[in-house]
Amino acid sequence: MTQTSENVTWLTQAAYNQLRAELDHLSGPARVEIAQKIEAAREEGDLKENGGYHAAKEEQGKQELRVRQLTQLLQNAKVGEAPEDNGIVEPGMVVTIAFDGDEDDTLTFLMASREYASTDIETYSPQSPLGAGVNGKKVGDDAEYELPNGKTAMVKILAAKPYQG
C-alpha cells in the first residue's frame, strides 16, 4: 500500500517489490522488445506513412514515461508495515462506506495511491475528495466530502480492514 506525505511515499514490502519488478522489466527486457519493434517497422520503408513505426514509437514514449514515474516513486519510497487492523481508515485499508447512511447503497474500495491501483478492487487516493473525507475516520463514523459539482455528500464508515491482496 502507499501513503504519500510530501515527497515520501510509504510502501509495504510487497508493494515495493511489485513496483521494483515492473521497473526492472520495463527498463530491461521491455526496452529491448520495443527497440526490436521499432527496428522491424523502420525496415518496412517510408516512415511518414508507416503506422507500425509510429505506434511502436508511441508505445516507447509511454513506456519511458512509466520508467521515469517508477524511478521517482521508488527513490522517495519508505518501506513499512501494512496498517494495523484497528478499524481506522488510512492508506492500505479496504474501506466500505454507505452513502447518506443507506446501508443498501454501499461502496467498497482500497485507500491507496493510484500507483497501487488494481483491477481487483476500486482504488481511491487519500488525496481524492472521498479519500480525504474518510481518512482518519473510524468504523461507525460519519464523514463528509465534496462532490465534483461543489455540493457535499455524507457517508458512514461500515468497515475498514487491511488490504490482503
Per-residue pLDDT, 100: 83
What's the chain's average pLDDT?
A: 84
Query: What does the domain layout of the chain look like in residue ranges?
Result: 2-80, 93-162
pTM comes to 0.59
CATH architecture of 2-80: Orthogonal Bundle (1.10)
- Comparing CA positions, the residue from 36, 53, 35 lying closest to residue 44 is 53
Q: Which residue has the higher pLDDT, 52 or 138?
A: 138
CATH architecture of 93-162: Roll (3.10)
Mean local confidence (pLDDT), 77-86: 75
- The residues with which 152 forms a beta bridge, in sequence order, are 146
pLDDT in tens, 86-109: 999 988 889 999 998 677 889 999
Q: Which of 14-23, 73-82, 149-158 has the lowest mean pLDDT?
A: 73-82
